[in-house]
């Protein structure tokens, strides 16, 4: 099983074109790790989620949707705190910006689950789960324990800069995680933020940072670039790029999360959920993996909200 750890929340998304100054907001179930778990379930992978959900109506719906997608909820904790909210703003290209309401909500209050169940093949962590305390320290312990047990560890920082009070401290903490990480996936904007450079004008310092991160532990870094597709840089020196799927974009909510899920699904089906296996992948294998992930993200961005594809909507990952 793949265990996904992190927040589950509700996105309040502007609905349709409106002549009004403020369009109505529609609630969509989301959160980066939550979207990854749903996508893995829809793709037919054995997946469980580690998170804390409210007992309010939103929390009930979040739990129901996990079950509907085939996600194991044995590690889901419940509490009376309200559900975390994210208010979404969409630009003219459908790109999303988020304003979060986290104080006093269920997301940060995760209790330490101890060792994950036997048969945990991989762990995927990131986003607010690695930022909001006291839960961030819990997920950090989960990350290190998983690595010590030999599990595949995937990390998507998915930076929400407005919630990071001390950027330098977070960057140091991020570097401390890297020896335990097998696969690092992040957007070019997040990579630039973590490296403290401008992604548009400082490409060489950015790639120097990627190489430094690889030297610290991961076997590969996957870099997503929106409409410009994605690329992977491996510890073995491979650099492979693929184009984004050419589809009409409704919004980009959940696109990066779908990519993470599709990559994990592809790797699992290929027997490549280990550091040794992905270190041995050649350019052709990486191109196939990235193309599968790009196709999955293309489905997600073609519809409103984080609605990742089902396995039947995609070609077999070969």
Structure token pair of residue 15: 């609905």
pLDDT for 94: 62
> What pLDDT sits at residue 20?
57
Give CA–CA dist 193/294, Å, rounded: 23
Q: Identify the pLDDT of residue 318.
A: 53
CA 131 to chain centre: 14
- What pLDDT does 315 receive? 75
Q: Which residues pair with 11 in a beta bridge?
A: 28, 86
| Nearest alpha carbon to residue 38 among 296, 298, 316, 315 | 296
What is the structure's pLDDT at 9? 96
Per-residue pLDDT of the chain (318 residues; tens, 9 = 90+): 999 999 999 989 887 655 557 788 889 899 999 999 999 999 999 999 999 999 999 999 999 999 999 999 999 999 999 999 999 887 776 677 788 999 999 999 999 999 999 999 999 999 999 999 999 999 999 999 999 999 999 999 999 999 999 999 999 999 999 999 999 999 999 999 999 988 777 788 999 999 999 999 999 999 999 889 999 999 988 899 999 888 888 888 889 999 999 999 999 999 999 999 999 999 999 999 999 999 999 999 888 878 899 998 887 655
Strand order in the sheet with 122-126: 76-79, 47-54, 2-5, 122-126, 152-156, 183-187, 220-224, 230-234, 239-242
């Amino acid at each position: 099983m793949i265990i996904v750890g992190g927040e589950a929340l509700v996105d309040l998304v502007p609905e349709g074109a409106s002549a009004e100054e403020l369009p109505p907001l529609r609630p969509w179930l989301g959160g980066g790790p939550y979207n990854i778990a749903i996508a893995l379930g829809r793709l037919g992978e054995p997946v469980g989620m580690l998170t804390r959900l409210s007992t309010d109506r939103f929390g009930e719906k979040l739990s129901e949707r996990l079950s509907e997608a085939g996600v194991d909820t044995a590690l889901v904790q419940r509490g009376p705190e309200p559900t975390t909210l994210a208010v979404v703003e969409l630009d003219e290209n459908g790109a999303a910006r988020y304003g979060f309401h986290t104080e006093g909500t269920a997301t940060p209050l995760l209790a330490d689950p101890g060792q994950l169940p036997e048969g945990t093949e991989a762990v995927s962590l990131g986003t607010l789960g690695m930022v909001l305390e006291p839960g961030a320290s819990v997920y950090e312990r989960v990350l290190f324990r998983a690595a010590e047990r030999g599990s595949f560890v995937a990390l998507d920082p998915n930076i929400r800069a407005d919630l990071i009070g001390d950027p330098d401290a977070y960057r140091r903490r991020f570097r401390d995680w890297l020896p335990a990480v097998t696969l690092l996936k992040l957007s070019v904007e997040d990579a630039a933020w973590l490296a403290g450079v401008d992604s548009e004008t400082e490409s060489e310092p950015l790639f120097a940072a990627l190489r430094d991160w690889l030297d610290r532990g991961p076997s590969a870094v996957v870099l997503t670039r929106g409409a410009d597709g994605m690329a992977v840089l491996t510890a073995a020196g491979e650099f492979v790029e693929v184009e984004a799927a050419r589809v009409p974009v409704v919004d980009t909510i959940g696109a990066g999360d779908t990519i993470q899920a599709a990559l994990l699904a592809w790797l699992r089906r290929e027997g490549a959920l280990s550091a040794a296996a992905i270190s041995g992948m050649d350019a052709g294998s990486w191109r196939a993996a990235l193309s599968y992930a790009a196709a999955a993200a293309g489905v997600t961005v073609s519809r409103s909200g984080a609605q990742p594809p089902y396995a039947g909507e995609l070609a077999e990952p070969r």
